[in-house]
Structure 1
């Protein structure tokens, strides 16, 4: 479906001196704060959505801010996670036994990778929630190959499992020493310790940070093609699953839940086919193809590739570099390309398709050659349209 275009921002600086006298050292201009993530979720527990923003302040400093109907609270924290990955934001989720969502941010350092902090709303302020007991010697909230944290609810009570992980010898699966805590009296209280072998299906629940539902991102975009903005939410569910939820401007709810092994990174939102509205493009679990979902008759369904396949494939022999989309003479067009492996110059095969009567129809094909240095100029992903990652 048809989209728009985006722009990038660049920052330059310089210094001036004269032969007679060096100019005084000018203080570095402060970095421009950059908002990395904005979501709407109930944080203070009043049942109304609050505005949560994560902002890069410069260097390794970030701000987490919550604006409610009556007040504003903010905290700063440090993290060495790269700004471009937006990975400092871990999500919003109901974790403890108090109304309102907790906010998860990554606080990794070169000496302590995998660390994070959990902030919660208390008496009009954001406060750091103390971590539960752990079977590991390292204190605080952290996950990695040796430790996972799982939040769960049982009989209306909030629990958290902190699992120390190890390979289960020569057999498949993992062994885990799990310390379970319950939310009681405003804090996590240890209730049990057990050692278990995790089956392959159970390991999905003890990977990194798990919770029944973690809100990762939201976007406002027209998905159903009625010209009105819909709300798209992307959540991480327990068991290595993700859920995409669309609430249309008319209030209709459309959801799709998938397993992370089937799809990789968060989906892209882009206008891909010739129908009004946007599509969701997921990188397939193997990393070599795309699956595109679109709204049709109130459901998220697969949008076939230009070749008519359910996945937008890269062939084993040649690697599809992308899909270049454009509106040409009133018709929606896509040009795909595949390049030969190895050699210089490299042969590139091109195919041009038009969107006609609800399907892609091939028009023509041709070949060109490019040098190894020119390969980077070829379209990768989806080009010519506005692309947003959830």
Structure 2
């Protein structure tokens, strides 16, 4: 007797059902491939951070609490130059942060997300002020269910002004996110033009490397670099150099 190619359970089905089964199998596989709700390799997403909030714009998603879920992020302009950031983690409650945005410039202060410090979870970066060529940013981290401001490392006269980046004839400022072994690092570069008549149009740059510890940023090394007149190669350090962020605002 010839051996059947089908399992016995298939042979007991009515003949009119058999031609449909391959189609059902294909549809089942397609549905599984489209499922992003937790299958192996799937990306789970939180809900809508703007649900029930008028004039709210969804601006991005990022895993801010490091639970493997893309958390939803929305922005609301509550008054001229006044903004409300809303972050909805999966399975959690909405976190909010109110802040002032630039008086002029982009329509909204959203800039992006990136892993900046050594605590798992992405930071949120907002453009909060700008001048003729200097831009100031507020960096937020998700800690214990709250959005908290993260200050730049090092001693600064006005840390509340935020993270400054610059690119001009007078000098440049920038940050580069990195890693040394298991240590998360941040390279802060700042330069100024040397107006000494003996070295006109030359630049002095300070590169300070910080490493993340349980108590925050710690300086690992510092190096001074002198650029000759007309040498602007150090300007490549200006702006943000962290995955997920534009180098400089458009």
Q: TM-score range by the shorter chain?
A: 0.5 to 0.7
Map residues 1-390 of structure 1 onto 2, 5 A cutoff.
34-71=55-92, 72-82=94-104, 84-86=106-108, 88-108=109-129, 114-134=135-155, 137-139=157-159, 140-145=162-167, 146-167=172-193, 169=199, 174-197=203-226, 203-204=235-236, 206-211=237-242, 213-215=243-245, 236=246, 265=250
Separation in 1, partners of 2:105, 2:56: 10
CA contact (8 A) 2:85 2:96 kept: yes
CA contact (8 A) 1:36 1:56 kept: no
Return the TM-score normalized by structure 2: 0.62
Q: Give 1:76 deviation, angstroms.
A: 0.5
Aligned pair in 2 of structure 1 residues 47, 111: CA closer, same or farther (>3 Å)? same
Separation in 1, partners of 2:148, 2:67: 18
Separation in 2, partners of 1:200, 1:92: 29
Separation in 2, partners of 1:147, 1:33: 38
Separation in 2, partners of 1:137, 1:194: 21
RMSD: 3.2
CA contact (8 A) 1:148 1:165 kept: no
Cα deviation, 1:182-228, whole Å, max 9, x if unaligned, reads 11014112222221146755532x112221x125xxxxxxxxxxxxx
Separation in 2, partners of 1:126, 1:40: 15
Cα deviation, 1:224-256, whole Å, max 9, x if unaligned, reads xxxxxxxxxxxx3xxx5xxxxxxxxxxxxxxxx
User: Max radius of gyration: which structure?
Assistant: 2
Separation in 2, partners of 1:126, 1:120: 6
Aligned pair in 2 of structure 1 residues 96, 36: CA closer, same or farther (>3 Å)? same
Cα deviation, 1:59-82, whole Å, max 9, x if unaligned, reads 111111110112221111112253
Unaligned runs of 5+ in 1: 1-31, 216-235, 241-259, 266-390
User: Whose helix proportion is higher, 1 or 2?
Assistant: 2
Return the TM-score normalized by structure 1: 0.42
CA contact (8 A) 1:33 1:58 kept: no
Separation in 2, partners of 1:191, 1:138: 23
CA contact (8 A) 2:127 2:137 kept: yes
Separation in 2, partners of 1:56, 1:83: 15
Q: Give 1:162 deviation, angstroms.
A: 2.1
Separation in 1, partners of 2:204, 2:111: 26
